Chain A
Amino acid sequence: MMSKIGSLRWCIVAALLCGMYGMPPSTAGEETATLRGRFLLEGPVPARGKLTVNKDRDVCGVYDLRDEQLVVAEDGGIRDVIVYARKLPGDGSGKEDAVLLDNKDCRFAPHVVAVQPGQTLLVKNSDPVAHNTQISFSSNSAFNEGLPPSGTKEIKLKKSERYPVSVSCSIHPWMRGYLVVQDTPYIAITKADGTFEISGLPVGKEVEFQVAHPKSKRIDEASVGGKATKWKRGRFKKKMVAGDNDLGDLVVMPDQFK
């Protein structure tokens, strides 16, 4: 018994020593930073118009399809605000997983998709009707291919795109989605409640973030913690501390989306 406990103790001591001296210095900074915040729209919640479903009504007409250009929750939370670290490519890990862009219930799901250059974008048709996927790239080559029912396409992009690019379907003109192509794993898209979180950021480094939105392209003004703040070109810099870096509520005026 005693000897067992003794050996266990030695193990713990050894493990502690390992922790103190044995590992490479970089692991001391293993601690990472997380950026979080919540985007809110000032003023009344904008109405989302009903989309005109004029094709394949038997399939698409059953859904209550609404305009998704600016989706705001009851409490003002803005969906689909894109926040990412500029000029901070990761170590390439995570790129091997494909990102899914589904054509489901006659809309693009999700509405905004982020993918890195070199990563596979898997476009899929889950509907019983044909779709096509037209992506209006600016830096990459334009893409427009048919997608029969249960069809898939794999797209690999070479370059980053400066702005979110629009994804549309020629057959169903109401369908509209957006694709963000940025060479960084540090990217987040706000959820329906307006919150976002980017984890795994390097500590102690000043990181430049870009704030974008499909409708306004850039968000360059917000009230941060009650203080009016201008972000030139939609960018701000922040020195990351270990653990939480909470920006709190970021209140955006409606004219940003005009």
Chain B
Amino acid sequence: MRSNKRCNDRWGAACQPRAEGWPDACLRAVSWALLASLLVGCQSEVPYFRPNLVEIEIEQDASEPVTEDQQRLINETMLALFGTPDRPANPFPEDAQAADAQSPLRTFGFDVEKLKVSAGPAYRDAEGNQHGLYRLHCAHCHGVTGGGDGPTAAFLNPYPRDYRQGVFKYKSTFGAAKPTHEDLKRVLVNGVSGTSMPSFRLLPDNEIEALIEYVRYLSARGETEIKLIEYMAAEGEMPGSISEIAGGFPLPVDDEGVAEEEPEEENVVASVMYQWKAAPVSVIHPVSSPVDFSDPESTAMAESIARGEKLFYSKNLQCNSCHGDSAQGDGQRDKYTVWFKWREDLGTNNDDQAEINRVVHQFMDVGALKPRTIYPRNLRLGVYRGGRRPIDLYRRIYSGINGGPMPAQGTVTGIAGDEVPDSEAGGSVRREQIWDVVSYVLSLPYEPLSQGPPQRQGSKYTPR
């Protein structure tokens, strides 16, 4: 298998699932000459968290090579902090009760019981409870590690989310803030329209809750690993001992349950968990809408659509420069998202095909998917990945799409809605005008395109 080969070449024993001890089991099997058990035990691959070789490649390109010993050190630290795909808890203590009591995950604020239901192999117990939810529903696309690199990933467009960057697109919070619990739940329950992400509405609530917790866990784990790799490549050492990397837990919180102070950067896990805990503070509250979206035939709505159209093509927003003069998503198709930052770094104007090929091969060799540019949404289809409620569109325009090229037209000071006056809110347009753009965008799928849209203000598009 390709992954195994790569794994052995580069990692030696380091990439093997140490906590499971199966290499030891194999050796014992050999010494006891139990050929049958050797064949059965060693041919199937026990799932393990795959080291983030792409990130290692990025970081060592920028600094010094990360040696095998350093890679092993990172892997062992990750194991101590986050456990394995079968046991998302501290694997070091022998006895199970002690393991639970000392589980760093519980200290980080994870609900370990939920994680246990999601982790491990998929099976139904005697009481009919489903276990191994993540491998049953998610791993084939998102991968055991949550790297968006499951067996089916290469065949999907768009690719499944790689949670390890800690970057999520469709959320109610501003800028780079983490999604709230409700945001992740909305994605699981509704799916993501226009992508391969299905709705899991039919799962019982407790299973959806367990999966949300597990996605958060994989994301925090992956982000921690990236930060450790960054530090190791730059400084040639770890940021500190395992407990220093974990940081001071529990985080001191204020009355609203939000962590008071951001931890030091060396306290890697604490810094990541702080971002998750702080997410609710960044929720975007809109200003009151000038129109009633439940009454699309009203005069007020027609006026709002007309204002929104002007704004769409205005010099302040210039939505058409990416979404296209006909809003079909064909204005700009040569940017990459943060998940292909190694490709984006080569520059959009790079015409050195030899360099591009070399870099693409370099990264695909360590497991990266073939890089794809991101297309702006075709607004004529009426398919909205981040949700089709007016509030979803308001937030998309207000905050942009985290990780991608779509910029925010609002600012962090204006997220409190009507509580903040426009004079202080900043942004490319007044917030009420964002509602007008929402009205216009929601009307686009119903515009008779073949009859030709009117000549747009400032647009070169001439209707046939």
Q: Which 10 pairs across A and B sit closest by C-beta, in order of nearness? A: A170-B405, A132-B407, A217-B62, A148-B316, A141-B176, A173-B348, A130-B318, A142-B176, A146-B428, A146-B407
| B19-27, B82-90, B332-340: which lies at the interface | B332-340
- A217 contacts B265, CB within 8 Å? no
Measured between beta carbons, the chain B residues less than 8 angstroms from A151 are 428
- A170 contacts B407, CB within 8 Å? yes
Partner of A170 from the list B322, B347, B409, B428 (CB cut-off 8 Å) is B322
Question: What is A's interface to B at a CB cutoff of 8 Å?
Answer: 49, 51-52, 55-56, 67, 69, 128-130, 132-134, 136, 138-139, 141-149, 151, 153, 158-159, 162-163, 166, 168, 170-171, 173-174, 176, 217-218, 232-234
- Tell me if B306 counts as interface (CB < 8 A to partner A): no
- B411 contacts A138, CB within 8 Å? no
Measured between beta carbons, the chain B residues less than 8 angstroms from A163 are 62
A136-B63 in contact given A141-B175, A146-B428 (Cβ < 8 Å)? no
Inter-chain CB contacts under 8 Å: number? 110
- A148 contacts B315, CB within 8 Å? yes
Interface string of B300-343 (1 = CB under 8 A from A): 00000000000000011110011000000000101100100100
- B407 contacts A145, CB within 8 Å? yes
A218 to B114, CA, bound (A): 44
A142-B338 in contact given A166-B345, A176-B347, A232-B64 (Cβ < 8 Å)? yes
Measured between beta carbons, the chain A residues less than 8 angstroms from B38 are none
- Tell me if B262 counts as interface (CB < 8 A to partner A): yes
Shortest Cβ distance from residue A230 to the other chain B in the assembled complex, whole angstroms: 12
Shortest Cβ distance from residue B428 to the other chain A in the assembled complex, whole angstroms: 4
A153 to B413, CA, bound (A): 12
- B409 contacts A142, CB within 8 Å? no
Could you give 13 example pairs across A and B, Cβ below 8 Å? A49-B349, A49-B351, A56-B321, A136-B341, A143-B176, A144-B402, A145-B408, A146-B407, A153-B411, A168-B344, A173-B349, A217-B63, A218-B63
- A67 contacts B349, CB within 8 Å? yes
- A130 contacts B428, CB within 8 Å? yes
A106 to B40, CA, bound (A): 63
- A171 contacts B316, CB within 8 Å? no
A142-B64 in contact given A51-B349, A67-B349 (Cβ < 8 Å)? no
A136 to B338, CA, bound (A): 8
Partner of B316 from the list A149, A218, A234 (CB cut-off 8 Å) is A149
Of B62, B236, B344, chain A has the most CB atoms within 10 Å of the CB of B62
Measured between beta carbons, the chain B residues less than 8 angstroms from A168 are 344, 348
Partner of A147 from the list B262, B321, B428 (CB cut-off 8 Å) is B428
Partner of B63 from the list A142, A143, A233 (CB cut-off 8 Å) is A233
Measured between beta carbons, the chain A residues less than 8 angstroms from B400 are 144-146
A22 to B402, CA, bound (A): 59
Nearest CB to that of B235 among chain A residues? A233
A170-B349 in contact given A134-B407, A142-B176, A147-B428 (Cβ < 8 Å)? no
- A146 contacts B234, CB within 8 Å? no
A233 to B232, CA, bound (A): 12
Shortest Cβ distance from residue B169 to the other chain A in the assembled complex, whole angstroms: 12
A147 to B411, CA, bound (A): 11
- B334 contacts A173, CB within 8 Å? yes
Measured between beta carbons, the chain B residues less than 8 angstroms from A162 are 62, 230, 234
Interface of B is mostly: loop
Measured between beta carbons, the chain B residues less than 8 angstroms from A171 are 318, 321-322, 332
- B252-270 contacts to A, CB under 8 A, are 262, 265
Q: Which interface class (under 10, 10 to 19, 20 to 34, 35 or more) fits B?
A: 35 or more
Given contacts A134-B405, A141-B175, A144-B400, 8 further A-B contacts (CB under 8 A): A52-B349, A128-B315, A129-B318, A130-B428, A145-B407, A149-B315, A162-B230, A176-B348
- Tell me if B61 counts as interface (CB < 8 A to partner A): yes
Nearest CB to that of B351 among chain A residues? A49
Measured between beta carbons, the chain A residues less than 8 angstroms from B317 are 130, 146, 148
Shortest Cβ distance from residue B245 to the other chain A in the assembled complex, whole angstroms: 16
Nearest CB to that of B346 among chain A residues? A69
A176 to B61, CA, bound (A): 20
Partner of A143 from the list B175, B405, B428 (CB cut-off 8 Å) is B175
Nearest CB to that of A128 among chain B residues? B315
Shortest Cβ distance from residue B146 to the other chain A in the assembled complex, whole angstroms: 19
Interface string of B227-245 (1 = CB under 8 A from A): 0001000101000000000
A233-B64 in contact given A55-B332, A170-B335, A171-B318 (Cβ < 8 Å)? yes
- B61 contacts A217, CB within 8 Å? yes
A209 to B137, CA, bound (A): 51
Measured between beta carbons, the chain A residues less than 8 angstroms from B405 are 134, 144, 170
Measured between beta carbons, the chain B residues less than 8 angstroms from A130 are 315-318, 321, 428
Shortest Cβ distance from residue B246 to the other chain A in the assembled complex, whole angstroms: 19
Measured between beta carbons, the chain B residues less than 8 angstroms from A145 are 400, 407-409, 411
A144 to B427, CA, bound (A): 12
Shortest Cβ distance from residue A49 to the other chain B in the assembled complex, whole angstroms: 6
Partner of A218 from the list B62, B334, B409, B427 (CB cut-off 8 Å) is B62
- B403 contacts A142, CB within 8 Å? yes
Measured between beta carbons, the chain A residues less than 8 angstroms from B234 are 162, 233
Shortest Cβ distance from residue B100 to the other chain A in the assembled complex, whole angstroms: 34
- Tell me if B406 counts as interface (CB < 8 A to partner A): yes
Measured between beta carbons, the chain A residues less than 8 angstroms from B335 are 170, 173
- Tell me if B167 counts as interface (CB < 8 A to partner A): yes
- B403-441 contacts to A, CB under 8 A, are 403, 405-409, 411, 426-429
- B315 contacts A158, CB within 8 Å? no
Measured between beta carbons, the chain B residues less than 8 angstroms from A170 are 322, 332, 335, 405-407
Shortest Cβ distance from residue A167 to the other chain B in the assembled complex, whole angstroms: 12
A171 to B428, CA, bound (A): 14
Interface string of B369-383 (1 = CB under 8 A from A): 000000000000000
Shortest Cβ distance from residue B367 to the other chain A in the assembled complex, whole angstroms: 21
A204 to B347, CA, bound (A): 43
Shortest Cβ distance from residue A11 to the other chain B in the assembled complex, whole angstroms: 53
A166 to B58, CA, bound (A): 14
Nearest CB to that of A171 among chain B residues? B321
A173 to B376, CA, bound (A): 13
Shortest Cβ distance from residue A198 to the other chain B in the assembled complex, whole angstroms: 21
Measured between beta carbons, the chain B residues less than 8 angstroms from A158 are 262
Nearest CB to that of A142 among chain B residues? B176
Nearest CB to that of B275 among chain A residues? A141
Measured between beta carbons, the chain B residues less than 8 angstroms from A55 are 321, 332
